[in-house]
Amino acid sequence: MNNLPDELLLDILGRIKRTTDRSSVSLTCKRFHKLANGLRTSIRVGCGLHPASDALTALCNRFYNLEKVEIIYSGWMSKLGKQLDDHGLLILSSHCPSLKDLMLSYCTFITDAGLSYLASCSKLASLKLNFAPRITGCGILSLVVGCKGLTVLHLIRCLNVSSMEWLEYLGNHEILEDLCIKNCRVIGEGDLIKLGSTWRKLKRLQFEVDANYRYMKLYDRLAVDRWQKQWIPCENMLELSLVNCVISPGRGLACVIGKCKNLEKIHLDMCVGVRDCDIVCLAQKSSNLQSISLRVPSDFSLPLLQNNPLQLTDESLKAVAQNCSLLDTVRLSFSDGEFPSFSSFTLNGILMLIQMCPIRELALDHVYSFNDVGMQALCSAQYLQILELVRCQEITDEGLQLAGQIPQLCILRLRKCLGATDDGLKPLVGSYKLELLVVEDCPQISERGVQGAAKSVSFKQDLSWMY
């Protein structure tokens, strides 16, 4: 073995897939130990990184080919020692020449100066920042200017990112493929227009507005009005997720929804202003759609809705059913509160999806229109494998007993369903048709009642939600 070149030994060690086995081999001799360390391309560290700079230097020297680094300070307290700071990012940039993927979570000590050090990481392609309150738009700009190959950028709860020059810079360079902006209070829908021609390259967009911050100020219609109707080149978009957004007719994000002809997944959560015509246009353009998730606000969840009633009806579901033959995942949800029949999906609309699309996973939350008749219809759903029912209060034992007749069903989740009792699960007991049964916070179902109803059972009971 001593006569074998390093390249051949690296190939041999690389064929050992289990980390524990590779670690055992590395203890054989110093040469094996050094080569095995070179095969380590990713690390994930947290509060145990103490003292941060010294520990990080030691790790980088030991694992000298790191490509992916995750530093997570969730649950950090001052008694655990000083957090990673800007000097730590300098160590990363100077000791990890192969760094491609970096995630910093709850690293509250880093500032724009630290990001400027990362700008020298020429291979950095993915940066994810979760709760970095000292970072501003200037720091993000210095990073995107330096890292020419950045294709993934996630900003979550970066509360002081206000200037948008970095968005304009990204807009002029068609490189970015995955953009996630969540709860960055100053960044609004109107700012997304600055992406310009980069829309052409985007494959994934997640945009979430801080609900509490926005609702206190009411919806900023002016931000949306600044984004006039125009051509948005987003034909390559595969995944689109919008949460607490304003969808203004004929402009802004409404233009995006109707232009994503290759879209595979869409998630619209509490987005005010979405109309049937938006979903119909989406369905007609996106024949490759595989997953749709809609969480609709009730008429009483926002004062704004008093003058802008919900406009999603069965017409949306009908268009999706008729045009999206690959659809296999459907999640429909209403927010807390009553909602009038003219603004909700009816049982007929839901059944159209089930009958015309190969639905593999169906999740319904607070959908009062789904009842025992709907459960009867599911018995003919040839592809359904996963069924999740949350706060579906019209389902009784009679409907629940039909779950065992759904041909391919293997996972059933019940949460906060008031009408279901132990009797509804009796046909499943002993049959072991289900791989997994999850029952949570259903007041009339007991722990004894779920025993033997599936190969694996999870039961939790917390009824505080009822009071």
**Segments making up each domain of the chain, as ranges:** 1-39, 275-370, 380-392+405-466
Choosing among 1.20.1280.50, 3.40.190.150, 3.30.70.270, 3.90.1150.10, the CATH entry for 1-39 is 1.20.1280.50
DSSP code, position 41: -
Measured distance CA(293)–CA(32) in Å, rounded: 50
Measured distance CA(148)–CA(168) in Å, rounded: 14
Do 129 and 89 contact (CB within 8 A), yes or no? no
Residue 59: CB atoms within 10 A of its CB come to: 20
User: For residue 24, which phi and psi values (nearest 5 degrees)?
Assistant: -65, -45
Measured distance CA(331)–CA(426) in Å, rounded: 27
pLDDT of residue 306: 47
Helix, strand, coil % over all residues of the chain, rounded to 5: 35, 20, 45
| CA distance from start to end of the chain | 70
pLDDT by residue, tens only, the chain of 467 residues: 677 776 777 677 677 777 777 777 777 777 776 767 667 788 999 888 888 899 999 989 888 889 999 999 998 888 888 899 999 999 999 999 999 999 999 999 999 999 999 999 999 999 999 999 999 999 999 999 999 999 999 999 999 998 889 999 999 988 999 999 999 988 888 888 888 889 999 999 999 998 776 554 444 454 555 565 556 778 899 999 999 888 877 777 888 888 888 999 999 998 888 889 999 999 999 999 999 999 987 654 454 444 555 568 899 999 999 999 999 999 999 876 544 444 578 999 999 999 999 999 999 998 888 999 999 999 999 999 999 999 999 999 999 999 999 999 999 999 999 999 999 999 999 998 999 999 999 999 999 999 999 999 999 999 888 87
Measured distance CA(47)–CA(466) in Å, rounded: 38
Per the structure block, which two tokens stand in for 21? 């086995």
pLDDT of residue 29: 77
Measured distance CA(49)–CA(127) in Å, rounded: 20
